[in-house]
Amino acid sequence: MKLRSSYVCQQCGYETPQWYGKCPNCNSWNTMVETVKDVGGASLSRTSLRQGSVGLAKPQKLSEVRHIEKNRLKSGFIEFDRVVGGGIVPGSVTLLAGDPGIGKSTLLLHVLAAIGGMYVSGEESAEQVKLRAKRLGINGDNISILSETNAENICASFDALKSDAKEVHQLVIVDSIQTLSSGDLDGMAGSVGQIRRSTELLIAAAKSQGIPIIIIGHVTKEGAIAGPKVLEHMVDTVLYLEGERFANARILRTLKNRFGAIEEVGIFDMSDQGLKEVSNPSALFLQDRVKNVPGSVVTVILEGTRPMLVEIQALTVPTQLAMPRRVGNGVDYNRLQLIIAILQKRLNLPLGGFDVFVNVSGGLKVAEPAVDLSIAMAILSSFKNKAMDPKTVVFGELGLLGEVRRVVSEERRIKEAKRLGFATACAPSNVASLSKASLYLP
């Protein structure tokens, strides 16, 4: 056995044979941790993984490669299956990330109950998982529980899982990757080296035995997936579950997918019985809408390939401060500042003496430029104290000159609005400038 000692930055994953007080890559202080690697074992695992997946050690014609189409495993959620490309591919490794308490474990427990397999918990005991499953109405007849944090022991348990399985492929949930550690390396669980090594062992076991694995990952304060960036490159699929913790709506989106497109999103509704898929998300986000109230505008956003109607709310009040406040909940702060500046310049709106608050109902976060016009119209509606026609939908990108620019999939947005009973569209095809859009207010 050949051992090699190196120092790995716990912030960015930079590796060097020499210790530094300050990481040369990310300039973070006191983040270099010594890690002992088994060079032979690490190299062997990666080599066997790649050769085992291809089946040959020498090059061959791509047209001559034998390919056996494997049936995808259905999760019981149409929304989940659409996001992952039609179902879970046997032997694939998926990383699911999201904020604490957003519903990652809840979602995967439902998926595991539909497919069957093993739940590996490094954070909770078997009794705690049982209590959560009971609350969700899951009896767990086809679910095995393993409370373990050693990566080698987890991979060794796959043999027993496969022999006891009624189906050829069963699902394995690992909750979470930050709690695992490998005996091949020194260092605490959650360090860069331990996360990388544990993931390598899980990937090798998944590819060699054809067992699909979904790994739960934590996120940092900035919302990025915790751990080394190489972790996202190692897995086949990266999913992200987002939404406000105290709101019901949850959006599952794909950041990477080797077996399907990344444009699709899944919409779920959090309830006391767990997550429920939403086939009509527009109705969900508009169910509590109050009509004929100044400051309320309905827009059409595009989440992946799916158009959805959401409500933009704005409130303008005279400020008591030397510098007026600009608060955006669910919208980009810099974009909000830009829209307010355009309103002041192009419509001569005296917003310098008013606090402006903008909110996206339902706890959604919207970032596409198509919501610019709806935000501007909501602010204008609140400032003039005039309500927008409740049957009018507004969307479009605003330019610095006050022009309304075209957005992608305009026809699909209008079609979705008409399906829900909206009769008028204040869209780039109808209005060319912000001043013409303002005429839609009575």
Asked whether residue 61 is assigned to any structural domain, the reply reads no
- Of the candidates 48, 44, 13, the one whose C-alpha atom is nearest the C-alpha of residue 184 is 44
Look at the chain and report how many structural domains it folds into: 3
Residues with Cβ within 8 Å of residue 412, at least 6 apart in sequence: 302, 307
233 shares a domain with 288: no
Report the C-alpha gap between 158 and 301 in whole angstroms: 43
Residue 20: give the domain boundaries: 1-56
pLDDT band at 45 (very low <50, low <70, confident <90, very high): very low
217 shares a domain with 193: yes
* pLDDT at position 411 over 90: yes
Q: Strand 424-426 relative to strand 392-394: parallel, antiparallel, unpaired?
A: parallel
* pLDDT at position 235 over 70: yes
322 shares a domain with 227: no
What pLDDT is recorded for position 10?
75
Q: What are phi and psi of 349, to 5 degrees?
A: -85, 120
Q: Across the chain, how many H-helices and E-strands are there?
A: 12, 20
Arithmetic mean of pLDDT, 70-91 = 90
Asked whether residue 260 is assigned to any structural domain, the reply reads yes
Report the C-alpha gap between 154 and 201 in whole angstroms: 9
170 shares a domain with 200: yes
Asked whether residue 170 is assigned to any structural domain, the reply reads yes
Report the C-alpha gap between 219 and 107 in whole angstroms: 17
What pLDDT is recorded for position 245?
67
- What the block records as the tokens of 137 is 């109405």
Instruction: Label residue 37 left, alpha or beta by phi (over 0 means left) and psi (-120 to 50 means alpha).
Output: beta
* pLDDT at position 5 over 50: yes
What pLDDT is recorded for position 284?
82
In this structure, what CATH number is given to the domain that contains residue 427?
A: 3.30.230.10
pLDDT tens, position by position, 322-358:
999 999 999 999 999 999 999 999 999 999 999 999 9
pLDDT band at 305 (very low <50, low <70, confident <90, very high): confident
Domain boundary among 259, 277, 295: 277
Asked whether residue 63 is assigned to any structural domain, the reply reads no
Residue 306, beta-bridge partner list: 303
302 shares a domain with 256: no
pLDDT tens, position by position, 157-170:
987 776 655 554 68
311 shares a domain with 269: no
| Predicted model pTM | 0.78
Per the CB < 8 A criterion, the answer to whether 172 and 161 are in contact is yes
3 shares a domain with 133: no
Asked whether residue 239 is assigned to any structural domain, the reply reads yes
Q: What DSSP character marks residue 438?
A: G
Asked whether residue 359 is assigned to any structural domain, the reply reads yes
137 shares a domain with 10: no
Asked whether residue 391 is assigned to any structural domain, the reply reads yes
- Of the candidates 206, 209, 179, 172, the one whose C-alpha atom is nearest the C-alpha of residue 194 is 179
Residue 107, judged by CB atoms within 10 A of its CB (0-12, 13-18, 19+), counts as: buried
What pLDDT is recorded for position 39?
56
* pLDDT at position 145 over 90: yes
At position 290, the amino acid (one-letter code) is V
Asked whether residue 428 is assigned to any structural domain, the reply reads yes
